[in-house]
Amino acid sequence: MMKRPTVSLCMIVKDEEALIQTCLLSVKDWIDEMIVVDTGSTDKTVQIARSMGAAVLSFEWNNHFADARNYGLTHAKSDWILYLDADEELSPLGDFDLHKALKETQASILSLHLVNYIGDSPNEDEAFHIAHPRFFRNHIGLQFKYAIHETLNIDDVFPDRDHAEVMGAIPLKLFHRGYMEPITTQKNKYSRNMTLLQQEAKSPSSSSNPWIEYHIASEYYRIREYEKAFEYVNLSIIRFIQGGKMPPSMLYKLKYAILFNTGSIDGAWPGIDKAIALYPDYVDLHFYKGVICYVKGWYAAAIDVFKHCLELGETTGLHLTLRGTGSFHAWYYLGLCWEKTGNNQAAINAYEKAYELSPTYSIAKDALHRLQEIDK
């Protein structure tokens, strides 16, 4: 009988005393070893990690996240690697037999359901959701590349295989707090990230990495410098195409989010249809189209689009999806459309459905109360 697969947790940290205990507690009971690479903490991060049973390794920070992560990998002895950051927390295993799943899978890389919180407090309804690779087999050559927004070298290890052939998924959620407003402000992530991205853009490897421009665009977007964000996301799209690759769906999501935030509805139309043609299953792009139709006063068309959003729903996969685009946000906009066309009862029903699906969705609650008062 094959032995139970073992798992090493590998992390890199610096000054994470407020978060690291929660992260380690979320895996401590079933992990085989915890390897924490510290890049220069001056707070109690190291002491807390050691008190939790982690092996702490020191690594002199060289402005290269992949180097730090790979240093931890060289010390991992287990069959599988799980990599996390201190601002993340894994959901409880519950009845899920993780070790059985690892034993039986044919995949070399396994994704988790990543929940990226974006509000002021943790709320899954105020979050972006995506499947993200976090477990991978040890000792087969997989490691990280790129100085920032490091990623696994899948193409180097499996040059002749499609990613779908070597990847699988397991039904666990990973909650990420790193881009909530209080944390990004405290850690000044914009300055750190932009410095490293600009450094990476000047490196020899940048010519083969069109993700750099995307990540620069994302940083500009977060600080609301939309003109620069738009310039860089378009550069990223062009570089993917020039490299013979279809631009990933999240580039189009960012592009149209920028246009929406600048009020450039005419700039988003009719180009959104071309993006949808590339990714017809991406509910967020359909939702953007629905909003365009609504703003232009094409209410019947908007209703059709938002109904289609509800049909698509929100399955967590390769697309970065804002919670609600296939549920409560779509119902809310259906309510707005029906209200505009004079069907108040249908609008009330839609607002009720949106509020039922997301009890923290205050604008649906306010719209519902407003219409109910009118209809009294």
Mean of pLDDT values over 14-22 = 96
Rounded to an integer, the average pLDDT of 274-281 is 96
- State the pLDDT at residue 186: 57
* pLDDT tens-digit readout, 244-260: 999 999 999 999 999 99
Range of the domain at 126: 7-178
Structural domains of the chain, count: 2
Instruction: Assess if residue 135 is contained within a domain.
Output: yes
Global confidence as pTM: 0.91
Residue pair 240/208 in contact (Cβ under 8 Å)? The answer is: no
**Which residue, 157, 178, 199, sits at the end of a domain?**
178
Shared domain for 17 and 137, answered yes or no, is yes
Question: Does a structural domain hold residue 150?
Answer: yes
Q: How many angstroms separate the Cα of 267 from the Cα of each of 39, 262, 263, 370?
A: 44, 10, 9, 33
In this predicted structure, what is the pLDDT of residue 181? 67
Which token pair is 267? 């700039």
Q: How many CB atoms lie within 10 A of CB 203?
A: 13
Whether residue 146 lies inside any domain: the answer is yes
The yes-or-no verdict on residue 66 having pLDDT over 80 is yes
Query: Does residue 115 lie in a domain region?
Result: yes
Distances (CA, A) of 347 to 108, 292, 298, 358: 48, 19, 16, 17
Q: 259 lies in a domain?
A: no
Residues 28 and 134 in one domain: yes
Contacts of 121 (CB under 8 A, 6+ apart): 180
Mean pLDDT of 1-8: 85
- Does any domain span residue 329? yes
When pLDDT is cut at 50, 70 and 90, the band that residue 121 belongs to is: confident
Provide the percentage of residues in the chain whose pLDDT is more than 90. Answer: 80
Residues 322-326 have a mean pLDDT of: 96
pLDDT at 182: 61
What angle is formed at CA 117 by the lines to CA 44 and CA 328, rounded to 5 degrees?
Answer: 160
pLDDT tier for residue 292 given thresholds of 50, 70 and 90:
very high
| Res 189: pLDDT | 77
How confident is the prediction for the chain on average, in pLDDT?
Answer: 93
Mean pLDDT of 89-97: 96
Q: What's the confidence (pLDDT) of residue 118?
A: 86
Residue 191 confidence (pLDDT): 82
Where is the domain boundary, 178, 204, 232? 178
Instruction: Return d(Cα 335, Cα 337) in angstroms, integer.
Output: 5
What is the domain-level CATH number for residue 47?
A: 3.90.550.10
pLDDT surpassing 90 at residue 70: yes
Q: Does 27 share its domain with 167?
A: yes
- CATH code of 272's domain: 1.25.40.10
Whether residue 375 has pLDDT greater than 80: no
Average pLDDT over residues 30-41: 97
Q: Is residue 236 part of a domain?
A: no
In this structure, the answer to whether residues 34 and 143 fall within a common structural domain is yes
When pLDDT is cut at 50, 70 and 90, the band that residue 317 belongs to is confident
Determine the pLDDT at residue 185.
Answer: 60
Look-up: residue for tokens 């609008």? Answer: 347
Query: Could you tell me which of 197, 205, 196 has the C-alpha nearest to residue 156?
Result: 205
Determine the distance from the C-alpha atom of residue 85 to the mean position of all C-alpha atoms in its chain, rounded to a whole number: 14
What does the alpha-carbon distance between residue 66 and residue 10 come to, in Å, rounded to a whole number? 12
Residue 81 is assigned to a structural domain of this protein: yes
The reported pLDDT for the residue numbered 199 is 85
Q: Which amino acid is it at 360?
A: T
Distance CA 133, CA 32 (A): 20
CA of 1: how far to CAs of 47, 103, 138, in Å? Answer: 39, 11, 21
Tell me which of 178, 211, 246 is where a domain ends. Answer: 178
Residue 66 has which token pair?
Answer: 């992949």
**pLDDT at site 283:** 97
pLDDT classification of 162: cutoffs 50, 70, 90: confident
- Say if residue 168 is in the same domain as residue 288: no
